[in-house]
Amino acid sequence: MLNWLKIKNIALIEALDIEFGEGFNVITGETGAGKSILLGTIALLLGGRAGKGIIRSGTERCELAAGITVKNNIQDTFLSALEQADIPFEPESREIQLRRVIGKSSNRNYINDTPVTLQTLKNIGNLLVDIHAANEHQSLLNRGTQLDILDRFGKLDELTGNCRNLCKELNTLRTEREKTFADMPSSIEAEHLKMIVMEIEKVSPEDDEDEKLNVKHSLAANSKTILELSSRSAMKLCDSEESIVDKLGEVYRDIQELAHIDSAKAEPLLTTCGQIVEQVRDLSYEIENYGSNVELDEQSFRDLENRLSDLQTIKRRYGPSLERVLLECEKARERLLVYSDAEKLRQEFQKKEDNLLAKLKTVAQKLSKERKKAAKGFCRQVEVKLKVLGFLQSELDISFSETEATERGMDRIEFLFSANPGEKIQPLRNIASSGEISRVMLALKTVLADADTIPVLIFDEIDVNIGGETANQVGKELLDLASNRQILCISHLAQVAACGQNHYAVVKNVHSGRTISTIKHLSTDDKITEIARMLGASKAARAHAKELLKL
């Protein structure tokens, strides 16, 4: 139940702190006193969006908070929702606190002092409080709303959830397919890709081949110079008359004569000279060998240049590096593979889609069967409530027509209603009387409330356009509904107010030039006065008020 409500600086309310009782709570007051502000505050705490001008003029922000006791029969669902939102909760306390601070530039939301998003506040709030307003009469005529009502009554959340999930999978699959085939190569692109692969494969480059060939080309381009230089160097070392080896031979012979004179000192010199002669001969051999490996094959040189030219061409078109060329060739091959496998891909996507559609149809058929079963019980229960509300021989039925399976199943329904015997049953939207619509709405809501586990129901002038004996029955019906849940009802009907177990009056006063709305819990005498005001404020009205309270 809604235990308490605190409001600060919202519209006409400067500060308000009110506690509500169990059972049937009635809220009354003159038009414009601030009853709608009170309801709007609760809606804000349940995740409603704050409109401009909600903050009381002259202040920078407004604050609102409420404490709500959690019923045992919704504890598991509620605890699961809190756990998903990572909100701490002590089950022993059973009270959850909702709070919002709304500023001109920023809003903050809390559940048990834990900051939460507006959507989380809404998700949690929907498990605790259900608001039924008079403006819902038009939404009741909407077939989508009627389907929601039937699903709630039949407790078909699991089946409707399965339909939604399968449709999400279908949408994901179709998006993936669209993206895949949107990126599929066209026939023109495929021809271009074939040309790329053919040109590169014709050259058939290898990794780093261009770098290796550039080294060979550099050597081949200078082969003549290399031969001339190596030949001349070898001759200077060994093969000419004035070669270095010959000169060293002369030096060697001079040192030999020195050895005859002073062998101790000349012998080492002789050894060193011999070693130098051998080194010069080795150097000459290596130079000759180096020159002999250089080929002067003109055809090979032209072939080398042609190969480098081919590599340079594909590098210019698909490079700049040979690595990049090879990568482009691989990418072209992969794209061509996608093109050639397009039909296979289409078949795979179609198979997956057909499988999901079959599952969706199966779930939708099961959902339709459960809806038709629930519809019979729902209509009978509503007819019972309608009798209490003055429709002694009314009839309610639900027509079904089959549609393509969607996230809402495969049913299109219409609430059909006949208010009196002999009248043709027809769509509820064809009913002209707002009073009749109000009573049908109340009957639907009370039946739906019996099927729900939400602990707090709020009715905002749902008894509009109802009067007389029917108003007495509406009050009694709301009182019966409050036997296992808390009811808050904003009403202009004295008959309904008289049935309230707790009565609150909203009053608007002017203090220091400012209009302020307040609310107070009425004593028995105050309740008589308030109901008398609602009846006309005469002596007879007061007597009538006392009589209503006795009844």
Task: Kindly list the domain boundaries of the chain, sorted by start residue.
Answer: 1-128+454-551, 187-340
**CA-CA-CA-CA torsion for 330, 334, 336, 342, nearest 10 degrees?**
180
Using 50, 70 and 90 to split pLDDT, how confident is the model at 295?
low
> Using CA atoms, how far apart are residues 442 and 396, in angstroms rounded to an integer?
14
Work out the average pLDDT over 537-549: 88
Q: Cα–Cα distance between 546 and 397 in angstroms, integer? A: 41
- The residue with tokens 């919002």 is 100
Judge whether 453 and 484 are in contact, CB under 8 Å.
Answer: no
Mean pLDDT of 125-146: 76
Tens digit of each residue's pLDDT (9 = 90 or more) over 358-368: 999 999 999 99
Average pLDDT of the segment spanning 508-514: 81
Q: φ and ψ at 311, to 5 degrees?
A: -65, -40
Going by pLDDT thresholds of 50, 70 and 90, the confidence category of residue 136 is: low
Average pLDDT, rounded, for the chain = 86
> Tens digit of pLDDT for each residue in 78-93?
778 888 888 888 767 7
CATH assignment of 1-128+454-551? 3.40.50.300
* Model pLDDT, residue 236: 87
The reported pLDDT for the residue numbered 139 is: 67
Q: Are 495 and 523 in contact (CB under 8 A)?
A: no
- C-alpha span between 452 and 455 (Å, rounded): 9
Q: Is the predicted pLDDT of residue 261 greater than 90, yes or no?
A: no
Q: Which two tokens stand for residue 413?
A: 């329904």
Query: From CA 327, how far away is CA 340, in angstroms rounded?
Result: 20
d(CA 442, CA 491) in angstroms, rounded, equals 13
Q: Tens digit of pLDDT for each residue in 169-225?
A: 999 999 998 888 877 787 888 889 999 999 988 988 888 888 888 877 777 767 777
Looking at residue 409, what is its pLDDT? 94
Output the pLDDT for position 138.
63
Of the chain, the percentage scoring pLDDT greater than 90 comes to: 30
Higher-pLDDT residue of 291 and 271 is: 271
CA distance readout (Å), 302 to 214, 296, 550: 13, 11, 121
* Residue of 533, 471, 479, 474 whose CA lies nearest to 501: 479
Q: Are 474 and 389 in contact (CB under 8 A)?
A: yes
Across residues 66-70, what is the average pLDDT?
Answer: 88
CB 45 within 8 A of CB 7: no
The per-residue pLDDT for 289 is 84
Whether residue 405 has pLDDT greater than 90: yes
Proportion of the chain above pLDDT 70, given as a percent? 94
Q: Are 62 and 106 in contact (CB under 8 A)?
A: no
**Quick one: pLDDT at residue 296?**
57
Strand pairing partners for 220? none
Q: What is the pLDDT of residue 156?
A: 93
